[in-house]
Structure 1
Amino acid sequence: MDRLFNSHWFVRVIAFFVALMLFAMVNQDNLGNQPSVLPTISNSSYTLEEVDLQVLYNEDDLVLTDAPATVQVNLSGSRSALAYFQMMRPAYEVFIDANELEEGTHRAQIQYRGFPSELSVSVTPSAATIELQEIQTSSFPVQVDLINADNVEEGYTVGTPIVTPINVDVTDAREWLSYVESAKVFVDMEGADSTIEDEYPVHLYNSDGLELEVESNPNFVTVRVPVTSPNKLVPVSIKRTGELQDGLSIENIELEPGDVTVYGPSDYIENLDSLSGVELDLSEIEETTTVELDVPVPEGAERVEPETISVEVTLGEEEERELSSVPLTIMGTTDDKTAVFQLEQPSSISVMAYGTEEQLDRMSTSDFQAYVDISEVSSGDKEVPIEFNGPQNIRFETEDSDALLTVTDQSE
């Protein structure tokens, strides 16, 4: 055997036959029609299972709601071409071109591209049914579900959650969008002893409370949940007593601070909207000045911080302005209680407004109201005081302080 391999002729013969076989494999399609020392090589086939089916459509206006996910692709051709395809795996695509289709259900031809030209290609099935629906967008308010809200640290209270943004948009097919009922985020309050602020994912639910596999925009929202000891920051309401000297009017009253913190039982704090009882005696003010006023502790509260506030009172020269044809409104009517103006009583009156020039210039007719309140008036012909709602630093007067009305009360 060693002698054979050492023979130049033997090696040349073996090399010739190897080259001949390689040539036959590469050129087997041509060799099939020509005489050869090798047997003819026939065509073969190869099947691609579960090939992804792409649907090309107008994604700006439509959503694909129904289409086959995969198809079967059958390839046939020479063994060398199939072997080359299996080895190189060129980029190919099986698709439906629905770019020109509108909303609705369509039967469309399945196309392909990217396969070697030497191979015959067939797709099973050759056509498919697809459904396109119009894209719609709806906005949903974000609800915050507080988990373990009763398990915060003892003595601490949980405030109203603040969500940013307060609404999220959901964009999808019209049919799928109709299933969305609510958008929620969940915040765990277990052991909380300070304000919680973080980003939380948005979950979408249908009317049965089942979560939907639909995305919102944005997917996350910022939630701030105030957690404080039992107290509340409320605005201070100033009670004015006495009267300014003639010719003076209040230009502005500014409080520092304008809000105070009231501490007390949770049930009391929850119902507290403002702190009243701070009195400002106008008869003691002769010019623009700043006064220190005590802040009383209201009944039911434990303490108030701070205990005093600064009140800056800005005065100006009083001007007057006549307002004509001001409608006179009747307040306090019910289904049983009604009232009408008597014949000699006009339903519109003239009103004199008194204040600084700047205050009067800023006022418009929509800023005030002239009215009579019959809620405590019994049936009959009555003279009811005319009252005014308007800017705090402007006072109103009318020539007749009372209006003449006939009151009817069927409940009496």
Structure 2
Amino acid sequence: MVLLHAGSGEGRKMDKLFNKGWFIKLISILIAVMLFLMVNVGNQPNQAGGIPGITDGSRVLEDVPLNVYYDEENYVLTEAPETVQVTMRGPQNVLTLSQITSGQQEVYVDLEEMEAGSHYERVQHRGFPSDLNISIAPMTVSLTLEERATASFPVEVNLENVEEGMDAGQPVVEPSSVTVTSGGETVEEIDSAQVTIDMSGRTEGFTETADVVLYDESGNALDIVPDPGEVEVRVPLDSPHTEVPLQVNPPDETGSGRVISSVTLIPDTAAVYGAPDVLDGISSIEIEDINWSDMDGDTTVELEVPVPEGADRVEPGSVTMEVNTENGEASQREFSGFSIEVQGLASGLNAEFPTLENNQFTLELQGEEEVVESVSRSDIRAVVNLSGLSAGEHQAALQITGPSGIQFPQNGTELPVELTDGTRPSEEPEEEDDEEPENGQEPENDQEPENEPAEEPQQNGEDENNEELPEPDPQEEQENNEEPEENMDEPDEENENELEDQNNLDEDNNNEESA
């Protein structure tokens, strides 16, 4: 009974200790330290065994960052190893402690006092426990410093694999240029900064972020990162289209008897999208199905723009039409022989309108009498745009513009036009079959013609054989006129010889005829 009582007293004391908070904390710390030592001792591969703090061990740290200190304001580090290997040897308890202080440990190279060039320096360390033996591999490293240089390069965009029929606009890059800061020799190698955008499957405009790559003159990519390293590229993308005028054909009067004085479309053009071969045949769009009879006074109407056959779409899809009307009947007037102005004709081509005479037509206009009578020819233009047309037969829309308040019923009329090559081969001069006889003599013929033509009366200045007599020299005539009158009756020696030759020639001809 006494033993049980004593045991009960000791048990109560232990219960009281476990009820104390400080006692439980102390026991927890002791258990944690024991577990920590057991785990770390078990992780020492080079440890020969023993008690921590008494037996030496080693620890190897791989890929330890190597810090390089240099004058960053004037130089750029272009060559240096990024990491090294560190081996620590010493007491186990110190090795364990080194893990706690790892944030203070550093391996580095000091180039603060060094200038540009290649350097071979020893790797240093600090922050490690003094009781440990530290070895670093490699012990020395090669480093290169270059003088700092900065250059800016515009970003070029390369669009690859654009879908057939799609029209890519000019890409917009933000920011439009990048900056490169490096050694002077390195910067000089850079020729361009480019981004490449893959357009496969793209059917509408888009924006995406792309990496900037630097290239040398040979087109080789350089291992240099610009600032910024990526840019935002916006690529407008659209299908082929053409801009054409919009047209309406208003009647002379509305259903209420009012005269239509002017019709204005806002806007007066539309963009037609579609295949290129379809767009080539579209020169204008006529808006039909307009209810003119309900218009009484000035009216504004919203009209839908029709999509031409074969085209994909038009923009805008609708336009506003403003109609001004007046009381009374419309006055009409004509200008005959009105010339058509041709625009966009390709070089070397001629344009002819087969249905017109001299490319002119009778222009018709109508509107309020006072306005119509005040219009002159110079106020009106009749234009046919032949842009993009090659030689051959085509149809082109006649576009007539003039003062406000005037209608042109012929506006938008399709005219047949024939384009022909304007170049002509140069004409070679005709060769003369008969050479002009020299000294008044005929060329010799081997055979005389069988039937000679009948003789014609001689004309002044010609002999019997229709040969021109030699004309007197103007200089000689002037000299003869300057001689005294007493010598004018005496022929000079040259004239006498000429007359003698002519007489001999006539005598020879007479002999030939007699024979």
The interval holding the TM-score normalised by the smaller chain is 0.3 to 0.5
TM-score, length of structure 2 as denominator length: 0.37
Greater strand fraction, Structure 1 or Structure 2: 1
TM-score, length of structure 1 as denominator length: 0.44
